[in-house]
Amino acid sequence: MKLRFPLAVLLIVHPVRAQMISSNELLGLAYSYRLTDITSRRFPQSRLLQWIDPLLATGRFTSSPAGTSAEGRTVYLYTYGTGTTKILLWSQMHGDESTATMALVDLLNLFANAHDHPLVTSIRTHLTLLMVPMLNPDGAERFQRRTAQQIDMNRDALRLATPEARILKTLQETHRPSFGFNLHDQDPRSTVGQSKEVAAIALLAPAVDDANSDTPERTRAKLVAARIVQAITPLVPGHITRYDDTFEPRAFGDNIQKWGTSTILIESGGWRDDPEKMHLRTTNVVALLAAFLSIAEGDYHQADPAVYETLPKNGRNLFDIVIRGASFKAGFSVPPLTVDIGINVDQEVDSTGLIVPMATIVDVGDLSTFGAYREFDGTGMMFDSTVIELKKSLPEKDLLHLLEHIRSR
Protein backbone atom coordinates (compact mmCIF):
# COMPACT_ATOMS: atom_id res chain seq x y z
CA MET A 1 0.00 0.00 0.00
CA LYS A 2 2.79 2.36 0.87
CA LEU A 3 4.24 1.92 -2.60
CA ARG A 4 0.95 2.36 -4.38
CA PHE A 5 -0.07 5.60 -2.76
CA PRO A 6 2.56 7.86 -4.33
CA LEU A 7 1.89 6.29 -7.72
CA ALA A 8 -1.80 7.10 -7.43
CA VAL A 9 -0.93 10.68 -6.52
CA LEU A 10 1.32 10.93 -9.56
CA LEU A 11 -1.45 9.72 -11.86
CA ILE A 12 -3.78 12.37 -10.53
CA VAL A 13 -1.24 15.17 -10.51
CA HIS A 14 0.23 14.78 -14.00
CA PRO A 15 -2.88 15.47 -16.12
CA VAL A 16 -3.58 18.55 -13.99
CA ARG A 17 -0.06 19.86 -14.60
CA ALA A 18 -0.28 19.08 -18.31
CA GLN A 19 -3.44 21.17 -18.49
CA MET A 20 -1.86 23.98 -16.53
CA ILE A 21 1.09 24.29 -18.89
CA SER A 22 -0.83 25.39 -21.95
CA SER A 23 0.71 26.51 -25.23
CA ASN A 24 -0.72 29.95 -24.47
CA GLU A 25 1.19 30.18 -21.24
CA LEU A 26 4.43 29.19 -22.97
CA LEU A 27 3.75 31.62 -25.80
CA GLY A 28 3.17 34.38 -23.24
CA LEU A 29 6.59 33.65 -21.72
CA ALA A 30 8.22 33.52 -25.16
CA TYR A 31 6.82 36.94 -26.09
CA SER A 32 7.55 38.55 -22.73
CA TYR A 33 11.22 37.51 -22.74
CA ARG A 34 11.96 37.92 -26.42
CA LEU A 35 15.19 39.93 -26.79
CA THR A 36 14.00 42.89 -28.85
CA ASP A 37 17.51 43.74 -30.09
CA ILE A 38 17.44 40.71 -32.39
CA THR A 39 15.69 41.66 -35.62
CA SER A 40 17.76 39.86 -38.26
CA ARG A 41 18.82 36.22 -38.53
CA ARG A 42 22.19 37.20 -39.91
CA PHE A 43 24.69 38.05 -37.14
CA PRO A 44 28.30 37.24 -36.28
CA GLN A 45 29.45 35.76 -32.97
CA SER A 46 30.57 39.20 -31.71
CA ARG A 47 26.94 40.35 -31.91
CA LEU A 48 25.71 37.19 -30.18
CA LEU A 49 28.08 37.81 -27.27
CA GLN A 50 26.84 41.42 -27.00
CA TRP A 51 23.35 40.02 -26.43
CA ILE A 52 24.36 37.28 -24.01
CA ASP A 53 27.01 39.01 -21.85
CA PRO A 54 24.59 41.42 -20.08
CA LEU A 55 22.33 38.43 -19.29
CA LEU A 56 25.33 36.52 -17.98
CA ALA A 57 25.98 39.43 -15.60
CA THR A 58 22.78 38.51 -13.70
CA GLY A 59 24.63 35.43 -12.45
CA ARG A 60 21.63 33.18 -13.12
CA PHE A 61 23.56 31.03 -15.60
CA THR A 62 27.27 30.45 -16.20
CA SER A 63 29.55 30.51 -19.20
CA SER A 64 32.60 28.37 -19.93
CA PRO A 65 34.74 27.84 -23.02
CA ALA A 66 33.88 24.54 -24.72
CA GLY A 67 36.73 24.79 -27.21
CA THR A 68 38.11 26.83 -30.08
CA SER A 69 37.03 26.98 -33.74
CA ALA A 70 39.45 26.51 -36.64
CA GLU A 71 39.89 30.28 -36.88
CA GLY A 72 40.46 30.67 -33.15
CA ARG A 73 37.00 31.76 -31.96
CA THR A 74 36.01 30.49 -28.52
CA VAL A 75 32.88 28.34 -28.60
CA TYR A 76 30.92 28.96 -25.40
CA LEU A 77 28.87 26.60 -23.29
CA TYR A 78 26.15 28.17 -21.13
CA THR A 79 24.88 26.19 -18.16
CA TYR A 80 21.59 26.74 -16.35
CA GLY A 81 19.98 24.81 -13.52
CA THR A 82 21.09 22.37 -10.86
CA GLY A 83 18.84 19.41 -11.64
CA THR A 84 20.00 15.84 -12.05
CA THR A 85 18.72 15.42 -15.62
CA LYS A 86 21.19 16.88 -18.10
CA ILE A 87 20.06 18.25 -21.46
CA LEU A 88 22.57 19.28 -24.13
CA LEU A 89 21.42 21.76 -26.79
CA TRP A 90 23.50 22.91 -29.75
CA SER A 91 22.58 25.28 -32.56
CA GLN A 92 24.15 26.67 -35.72
CA MET A 93 26.59 23.86 -36.47
CA HIS A 94 25.64 25.09 -39.94
CA GLY A 95 26.69 28.74 -39.89
CA ASP A 96 23.69 30.05 -41.85
CA GLU A 97 21.09 28.28 -39.65
CA SER A 98 20.51 30.76 -36.84
CA THR A 99 16.80 30.53 -35.97
CA ALA A 100 17.37 28.35 -32.89
CA THR A 101 20.35 30.45 -31.83
CA MET A 102 17.96 33.41 -31.51
CA ALA A 103 15.59 31.18 -29.52
CA LEU A 104 18.39 30.10 -27.16
CA VAL A 105 19.20 33.77 -26.49
CA ASP A 106 15.50 34.37 -25.70
CA LEU A 107 15.62 31.42 -23.29
CA LEU A 108 18.76 32.80 -21.60
CA ASN A 109 16.90 36.12 -21.26
CA LEU A 110 14.00 34.26 -19.63
CA PHE A 111 16.31 32.37 -17.26
CA ALA A 112 18.20 35.56 -16.36
CA ASN A 113 15.08 37.63 -15.67
CA ALA A 114 12.31 35.25 -14.61
CA HIS A 115 14.30 33.04 -12.29
CA ASP A 116 11.40 32.66 -9.84
CA HIS A 117 8.61 32.02 -12.32
CA PRO A 118 7.09 28.63 -11.36
CA LEU A 119 7.82 27.06 -14.76
CA VAL A 120 11.39 28.36 -14.77
CA THR A 121 11.81 27.10 -11.20
CA SER A 122 10.64 23.65 -12.31
CA ILE A 123 13.18 23.69 -15.15
CA ARG A 124 16.14 24.78 -13.04
CA THR A 125 15.48 22.46 -10.11
CA HIS A 126 14.91 19.32 -12.22
CA LEU A 127 17.27 19.94 -15.12
CA THR A 128 20.76 21.08 -15.95
CA LEU A 129 20.68 22.74 -19.37
CA LEU A 130 23.95 22.77 -21.31
CA MET A 131 23.55 25.17 -24.21
CA VAL A 132 25.91 25.85 -27.10
CA PRO A 133 24.42 28.53 -29.32
CA MET A 134 26.54 28.87 -32.44
CA LEU A 135 28.73 25.78 -32.58
CA ASN A 136 30.24 26.97 -35.88
CA PRO A 137 31.11 30.66 -35.31
CA ASP A 138 33.48 30.76 -38.34
CA GLY A 139 30.64 29.71 -40.64
CA ALA A 140 28.30 32.20 -38.92
CA GLU A 141 30.82 34.98 -39.63
CA ARG A 142 30.33 34.30 -43.37
CA PHE A 143 26.71 33.15 -42.96
CA GLN A 144 27.68 29.91 -44.69
CA ARG A 145 26.78 26.31 -43.91
CA ARG A 146 30.30 24.91 -43.71
CA THR A 147 33.13 25.62 -41.30
CA ALA A 148 36.13 27.81 -42.19
CA GLN A 149 37.85 24.59 -43.33
CA GLN A 150 34.97 24.03 -45.79
CA ILE A 151 33.69 20.97 -43.95
CA ASP A 152 30.05 20.18 -43.28
CA MET A 153 30.61 19.32 -39.63
CA ASN A 154 27.40 17.30 -39.56
CA ARG A 155 29.25 14.72 -41.65
CA ASP A 156 32.25 14.71 -39.31
CA ALA A 157 30.86 12.87 -36.27
CA LEU A 158 32.98 9.76 -36.99
CA ARG A 159 36.25 11.15 -38.32
CA LEU A 160 36.20 14.17 -35.96
CA ALA A 161 38.64 16.03 -38.20
CA THR A 162 37.29 19.49 -37.36
CA PRO A 163 37.77 21.20 -33.98
CA GLU A 164 34.03 22.04 -33.94
CA ALA A 165 33.05 18.37 -34.25
CA ARG A 166 35.48 17.46 -31.46
CA ILE A 167 33.85 20.10 -29.22
CA LEU A 168 30.43 18.49 -29.62
CA LYS A 169 31.77 14.96 -29.19
CA THR A 170 33.66 15.98 -26.03
CA LEU A 171 30.58 17.67 -24.55
CA GLN A 172 28.52 14.52 -25.08
CA GLU A 173 31.24 12.30 -23.62
CA THR A 174 31.95 14.53 -20.65
CA HIS A 175 28.38 15.22 -19.57
CA ARG A 176 26.56 12.10 -20.81
CA PRO A 177 23.30 14.09 -21.11
CA SER A 178 20.00 12.22 -20.97
CA PHE A 179 18.57 14.37 -23.78
CA GLY A 180 20.06 16.25 -26.72
CA PHE A 181 18.55 18.89 -28.99
CA ASN A 182 20.11 19.20 -32.43
CA LEU A 183 18.92 22.58 -33.73
CA HIS A 184 18.95 23.43 -37.43
CA ASP A 185 17.23 25.31 -40.25
CA GLN A 186 15.99 23.36 -43.25
CA ASP A 187 15.23 24.59 -46.76
CA PRO A 188 12.35 27.08 -46.41
CA ARG A 189 10.94 25.60 -49.64
CA SER A 190 10.16 22.30 -47.87
CA THR A 191 6.49 21.40 -47.80
CA VAL A 192 4.06 19.33 -45.78
CA GLY A 193 4.22 16.09 -47.77
CA GLN A 194 3.25 16.62 -51.41
CA SER A 195 0.99 19.56 -50.55
CA LYS A 196 1.80 23.20 -51.36
CA GLU A 197 1.86 24.09 -47.64
CA VAL A 198 5.15 25.28 -46.21
CA ALA A 199 6.82 23.07 -43.58
CA ALA A 200 7.42 25.44 -40.67
CA ILE A 201 9.01 22.96 -38.29
CA ALA A 202 10.31 19.46 -39.03
CA LEU A 203 11.05 17.10 -36.14
CA LEU A 204 13.05 13.90 -36.01
CA ALA A 205 14.14 11.32 -33.50
CA PRO A 206 17.17 10.30 -35.59
CA ALA A 207 17.73 6.64 -36.46
CA VAL A 208 20.62 4.67 -34.98
CA ASP A 209 21.00 2.11 -37.78
CA ASP A 210 19.94 1.23 -41.33
CA ALA A 211 17.12 -0.94 -39.97
CA ASN A 212 15.55 2.14 -38.35
CA SER A 213 15.48 0.29 -34.99
CA ASP A 214 13.94 1.76 -31.87
CA THR A 215 16.25 1.92 -28.87
CA PRO A 216 14.99 3.06 -25.45
CA GLU A 217 16.75 6.40 -26.08
CA ARG A 218 15.07 6.88 -29.44
CA THR A 219 11.66 5.91 -28.06
CA ARG A 220 12.01 8.58 -25.37
CA ALA A 221 13.01 11.12 -28.02
CA LYS A 222 9.84 10.30 -30.00
CA LEU A 223 7.68 10.86 -26.91
CA VAL A 224 9.27 14.26 -26.23
CA ALA A 225 8.83 15.11 -29.93
CA ALA A 226 5.11 14.26 -29.54
CA ARG A 227 4.88 16.76 -26.67
CA ILE A 228 6.59 19.38 -28.84
CA VAL A 229 4.05 18.79 -31.63
CA GLN A 230 1.19 19.38 -29.18
CA ALA A 231 2.75 22.57 -27.82
CA ILE A 232 3.54 24.22 -31.17
CA THR A 233 0.45 23.16 -33.13
CA PRO A 234 -1.44 26.37 -32.20
CA LEU A 235 1.49 28.42 -33.58
CA VAL A 236 2.04 26.52 -36.83
CA PRO A 237 -1.14 24.43 -37.31
CA GLY A 238 -0.84 21.95 -40.17
CA HIS A 239 2.74 23.03 -40.88
CA ILE A 240 4.69 20.44 -38.86
CA THR A 241 6.51 17.59 -40.60
CA ARG A 242 8.78 14.66 -39.86
CA TYR A 243 12.31 14.96 -41.22
CA ASP A 244 13.82 12.19 -43.34
CA ASP A 245 14.74 9.36 -40.96
CA THR A 246 17.28 7.61 -43.20
CA PHE A 247 20.29 6.70 -41.06
CA GLU A 248 23.34 8.85 -41.83
CA PRO A 249 26.37 7.17 -40.21
CA ARG A 250 28.43 10.40 -40.22
CA ALA A 251 25.81 12.77 -38.75
CA PHE A 252 25.77 13.97 -35.17
CA GLY A 253 22.08 13.50 -34.42
CA ASP A 254 22.21 9.83 -35.40
CA ASN A 255 25.44 9.21 -33.49
CA ILE A 256 24.53 11.09 -30.33
CA GLN A 257 21.30 9.05 -30.24
CA LYS A 258 23.49 5.94 -30.63
CA TRP A 259 25.91 7.11 -27.93
CA GLY A 260 23.06 6.99 -25.40
CA THR A 261 21.55 10.49 -25.41
CA SER A 262 17.86 10.72 -26.44
CA THR A 263 18.19 13.12 -29.36
CA ILE A 264 15.59 15.32 -31.03
CA LEU A 265 16.28 17.22 -34.23
CA ILE A 266 14.34 20.45 -34.70
CA GLU A 267 14.54 21.98 -38.17
CA SER A 268 13.11 25.45 -38.70
CA GLY A 269 11.80 25.75 -42.25
CA GLY A 270 9.87 28.67 -43.71
CA TRP A 271 6.91 30.89 -42.89
CA ARG A 272 5.06 33.25 -45.19
CA ASP A 273 5.93 36.96 -44.97
CA ASP A 274 8.61 36.22 -42.39
CA PRO A 275 12.02 36.04 -44.14
CA GLU A 276 13.85 36.77 -40.86
CA LYS A 277 12.07 33.79 -39.28
CA MET A 278 10.94 35.62 -36.16
CA HIS A 279 7.74 33.57 -35.87
CA LEU A 280 9.75 30.35 -36.09
CA ARG A 281 12.17 31.73 -33.49
CA THR A 282 9.22 32.10 -31.09
CA THR A 283 7.97 28.65 -32.10
CA ASN A 284 11.39 27.23 -31.16
CA VAL A 285 11.17 28.86 -27.72
CA VAL A 286 7.73 27.30 -27.13
CA ALA A 287 8.97 23.93 -28.46
CA LEU A 288 11.99 23.88 -26.17
CA LEU A 289 10.07 25.09 -23.10
CA ALA A 290 7.46 22.38 -23.66
CA ALA A 291 10.22 19.79 -24.05
CA PHE A 292 12.02 20.96 -20.89
CA LEU A 293 8.84 20.90 -18.82
CA SER A 294 7.74 17.50 -20.10
CA ILE A 295 11.17 16.13 -19.16
CA ALA A 296 11.31 18.00 -15.83
CA GLU A 297 7.88 16.77 -14.77
CA GLY A 298 8.31 13.36 -16.43
CA ASP A 299 5.02 13.83 -18.25
CA TYR A 300 6.42 12.83 -21.67
CA HIS A 301 6.01 9.20 -20.52
CA GLN A 302 2.26 9.71 -21.06
CA ALA A 303 2.68 11.12 -24.59
CA ASP A 304 1.24 9.28 -27.58
CA PRO A 305 4.11 8.34 -29.95
CA ALA A 306 1.61 8.33 -32.85
CA VAL A 307 1.45 12.14 -32.59
CA TYR A 308 5.06 12.09 -33.83
CA GLU A 309 4.93 8.95 -35.99
CA THR A 310 1.97 10.15 -38.07
CA LEU A 311 3.44 13.53 -38.97
CA PRO A 312 3.58 14.00 -42.75
CA LYS A 313 7.06 13.80 -44.24
CA ASN A 314 8.90 16.76 -45.72
CA GLY A 315 8.17 17.40 -49.40
CA ARG A 316 9.72 19.81 -51.91
CA ASN A 317 6.68 21.36 -53.62
CA LEU A 318 7.41 25.04 -53.22
CA PHE A 319 9.19 27.73 -55.21
CA ASP A 320 10.00 31.23 -54.10
CA ILE A 321 8.27 32.68 -57.17
CA VAL A 322 5.92 31.15 -59.74
CA ILE A 323 4.63 32.93 -62.83
CA ARG A 324 1.43 31.13 -63.88
CA GLY A 325 0.17 30.66 -67.41
CA ALA A 326 2.74 32.67 -69.33
CA SER A 327 3.48 32.19 -73.00
CA PHE A 328 6.97 30.86 -73.66
CA LYS A 329 8.75 30.46 -77.00
CA ALA A 330 11.86 28.36 -76.43
CA GLY A 331 13.44 28.91 -79.83
CA PHE A 332 13.07 30.36 -83.29
CA SER A 333 11.94 27.08 -84.87
CA VAL A 334 9.36 25.94 -82.28
CA PRO A 335 5.89 27.27 -81.51
CA PRO A 336 5.19 28.92 -78.10
CA LEU A 337 3.58 27.04 -75.20
CA THR A 338 1.63 28.11 -72.16
CA VAL A 339 3.78 27.36 -69.11
CA ASP A 340 4.33 28.09 -65.45
CA ILE A 341 7.78 29.38 -64.54
CA GLY A 342 9.36 28.35 -61.22
CA ILE A 343 12.01 30.63 -59.74
CA ASN A 344 14.05 30.35 -56.55
CA VAL A 345 15.83 33.22 -54.86
CA ASP A 346 19.06 32.70 -52.94
CA GLN A 347 21.12 35.24 -51.03
CA GLU A 348 24.56 35.74 -52.51
CA VAL A 349 27.34 38.02 -51.30
CA ASP A 350 29.04 40.12 -53.99
CA SER A 351 32.73 41.12 -54.09
CA THR A 352 32.04 44.20 -51.92
CA GLY A 353 30.35 42.11 -49.21
CA LEU A 354 26.85 43.27 -50.16
CA ILE A 355 24.02 40.71 -50.01
CA VAL A 356 22.39 40.30 -53.43
CA PRO A 357 19.26 38.14 -53.76
CA MET A 358 19.79 36.14 -56.96
CA ALA A 359 16.81 34.67 -58.82
CA THR A 360 17.34 31.39 -60.65
CA ILE A 361 14.85 29.92 -63.12
CA VAL A 362 14.62 26.32 -61.97
CA ASP A 363 11.70 24.87 -63.92
CA VAL A 364 9.32 25.56 -66.79
CA GLY A 365 6.14 23.60 -67.58
CA ASP A 366 3.11 22.39 -65.66
CA LEU A 367 3.88 23.51 -62.10
CA SER A 368 0.26 23.26 -60.94
CA THR A 369 1.24 20.90 -58.11
CA PHE A 370 3.71 23.45 -56.72
CA GLY A 371 3.03 26.41 -54.47
CA ALA A 372 5.11 29.56 -54.12
CA TYR A 373 5.83 32.29 -51.63
CA ARG A 374 4.95 34.79 -54.37
CA GLU A 375 2.77 34.09 -57.40
CA PHE A 376 2.33 36.23 -60.51
CA ASP A 377 -0.39 35.88 -63.11
CA GLY A 378 1.48 35.45 -66.38
CA THR A 379 -1.62 35.59 -68.61
CA GLY A 380 -0.76 37.61 -71.70
CA MET A 381 2.94 37.73 -70.83
CA MET A 382 5.28 36.57 -73.59
CA PHE A 383 8.71 35.18 -72.78
CA ASP A 384 11.36 33.90 -75.14
CA SER A 385 14.64 32.06 -74.64
CA THR A 386 16.58 35.31 -74.30
CA VAL A 387 14.76 35.83 -70.99
CA ILE A 388 13.83 32.37 -69.79
CA GLU A 389 16.76 30.03 -69.75
CA LEU A 390 16.80 27.15 -67.29
CA LYS A 391 19.35 27.49 -64.47
CA LYS A 392 19.94 31.11 -65.49
CA SER A 393 20.48 33.45 -62.53
CA LEU A 394 19.93 37.17 -62.39
CA PRO A 395 19.56 39.67 -59.54
CA GLU A 396 16.02 39.39 -58.15
CA LYS A 397 15.37 43.09 -58.65
CA ASP A 398 16.25 42.77 -62.36
CA LEU A 399 13.82 39.86 -62.68
CA LEU A 400 10.99 41.80 -61.01
CA HIS A 401 11.79 44.79 -63.20
CA LEU A 402 11.65 42.58 -66.27
CA LEU A 403 8.26 41.18 -65.21
CA GLU A 404 6.89 44.72 -64.85
CA HIS A 405 8.27 45.58 -68.28
CA ILE A 406 6.75 42.52 -69.96
CA ARG A 407 3.43 43.04 -68.21
CA SER A 408 3.12 46.64 -69.35
CA ARG A 409 4.19 45.90 -72.92
The residues binding Zn ion (CB under 5 A) are 94, 97, 184
* CB-nearer residue toward Zn ion: 157 or 367: 157
Q: Are 364 and 339 in contact (CB under 8 A)?
A: yes
Least distance CB 72 / Zn ion (angstroms) = 23
Least distance CB 186 / Zn ion (angstroms) = 7
Backbone φ, ψ for residue 364 (5° rounding): -140, 135
Helix (H) or strand (E) holding 76: strand 74-80
* CB-nearer residue toward Zn ion: 154 or 178: 154
- C-alpha 300: how far from chain center: 22
Q: Are 252 and 157 in contact (CB under 8 A)?
A: yes
Q: Are 285 and 109 in contact (CB under 8 A)?
A: no
Whole-number Cα distances in Å, 118 to 25, 104, 190, 216, 388: 12, 19, 37, 30, 59
* CB-nearer residue toward Zn ion: 184 or 220: 184
Least distance CB 244 / Zn ion (angstroms) = 13
Least distance CB 184 / Zn ion (angstroms) = 3
* CB-nearer residue toward Zn ion: 73 or 94: 94
Least distance CB 182 / Zn ion (angstroms) = 9
Q: Which of 145, 2, 117 is nearest to 60 (CA)?
A: 117
* CB-nearer residue toward Zn ion: 62 or 150: 150
Q: Could you report how far apart the first and last alpha carbons of the chain are, in Å?
A: 86
Whole-number Cα distances in Å, 90 to 96, 128, 159, 409: 14, 14, 19, 53
* CB-nearer residue toward Zn ion: 243 or 292: 243
Q: Nearest-CB residue to Zn ion?
A: 184
Least distance CB 149 / Zn ion (angstroms) = 17
